[in-house]
Chains A and B, each alone.
Chain A
Amino acid sequence: MSVVLYRIDERLIHGQVVMGWGPQLSVEHYVVVDDDLASSEWEQDLYRLGLPDAASAEFLKADAARERLVVMEADTRRIVVLTRTIAAMGNLAKDDALRGREVNLGGLHHAADRTERISYVFLGPMEEEGLQALVEEGVHVYARDLPGSRAVELKALLV
């Protein structure tokens, strides 16, 4: 088992991830699952600017990531899998692919149809549905922005 964290975070690779979770979990490799970014090298370069020297990153389309899940879980490196949206993580988790695993909600920020649940998690009806779908796939969902902060269980986020 080599994926040490599955995380949904709109900012993807940023300070909380590389400075907070990175050292805590000794992360060596980041896999960003995002269809748009997988085919945009200039954006990938910008995201890579934030990586520590010892870590690497790759950007995969959803389908490629689903195919690679088993390989990633067996990888010798310690990997963090990041998605920008709940839907993208839901797609990864389909057909029990993440059953029994944990998914971390790290940052979903304000948008038109969302309301604040905790300071770094804003959800709307679509996000709530997506999170329920993750639970139905056997995933344990919780919110925690940094390793040192308190974990908030999903039911406390749903109103």
Chain B
Amino acid sequence: MTNGKRPAGWIGGFFRQFLLQGSWNYRSLLGSGFAFCMIPILRRRGLSGDALDGAVRSHMGTFNAHPYLAGIALGAVAQMEESGTDPETIERFKRAIQGALGGLGDLLIWGAWRPTTTLLALVLAWAGTPPWVPVCVFLVAYNGGHVALRWWGYKRGLQYGKDVGVRLGRAALSRLAERAFVAGALLLGILAGVFLVSHLATEEAGGLWSLAGVLAFGLGLKFGHRALRGTTLVVVLVITVLTVLGNA
């Protein structure tokens, strides 16, 4: 399915992805956003007036995906348009891939990447850096990751077209999520260790708290990926705040 040639207008299509959710609605979900992203590519194919209008409308059907992974579908559809795939096949492709892009995106981003980068910032905060450091590190890490993921997905879509699902396989995305989970588990362990040792340790009980820190680190490493969810973060934050108040 790949013809190696990127469709003209693909760069514009990439940047429009950042506004993909701008017209999210219950009727077509991301449908109109998807059509909006396709406009530069359709224009560069020489379409204008009624022809452009019709082509944009054909992309406005109900579509939903995780916004950061929707680029995989966008790139693939742009490639399919370029290689002259019939509209029905394109529609069926969008229908079939959307569920996977939604579910994997939730797992990868909301379940792994966002908690992991949040934990990274918390670890830095507890390690005693000035307040602006964890804030900047979080913003750069989180956004760097999501922009990179959008770019990677869009390029893979453009590269493989209709075959993108088979070529990527579930493994590629699951592996990314797994890595983020492991990093998050490690950070959860470090965070637990750091705040137990640095804020609870006293002269008399230093050894005990250090041991507790090491134990927490080990548990985080072993089981953290199971516990790493939004609710866990809330629990960690509550414990943290209580500890600060208790030590104040």
Residues of A whose CB lies within 8 Å of any CB of B are: 10-15, 17-19, 37, 40, 42-43, 45-51, 53, 109-110, 116, 119-120
Contacts and interface: CB of A to CB of B under 8 A. Distances in A.
B62 A47 contact: no
Nearest to B164: A46
Contact of B98 (A14, A116, A120): A14
Nearest to A49: B100
Interface string B10-27: 000000000000000011
Given A46-B97, A47-B96, A50-B99, A11 B174 contact: no
Interface in B216-243: none
B103 A42 contact: no
Interface of B: 26-29, 62, 64, 92-93, 95-104, 106-107, 162-163, 165-166, 168-170, 173-174
Contacts of B100: 13-14, 46-50
3 closest A-B pairs by beta carbon, nearest first, are A14-B99, A50-B100, A49-B100
Nearest to A122: B27
Chain A CB within 10 A, most for which of B27, B28, B173: B27
B27 A109 contact: yes
B27 A49 contact: no
Contacts of A116: 26
B98 A49 contact: no
B26 A15 contact: no
Nearest to A37: B96
Contacts of A119: 26
A48 B163 CA distance: 14
B26 A42 contact: no
Contacts of B27: 109-110
Contact of A19 (B92, B106, B169): B106
B162 A42 contact: yes
A121 to B, nearest CB: 10
Contacts of B92: 40, 43
Contact of A109 (B62, B166, B173, B174): B62
A10 B165 CA distance: 20
A45 B168 CA distance: 11
Given A19-B103, A109-B27, 7 more contacts: A10-B62, A13-B100, A42-B163, A42-B166, A49-B170, A49-B173, A50-B100
B170 A14 contact: no
B97 A120 contact: no
Nearest to B107: A19
A31 to B, nearest CB: 15
Given A46-B96, A53-B174, A14 B102 contact: yes
B162 A13 contact: no
Given A11-B64, A109-B29, A50 B103 contact: yes
Nearest to A119: B26
A119 B64 CA distance: 15
Which of B96, B106, B168 has the most A CB atoms < 10 Å from its CB? B96
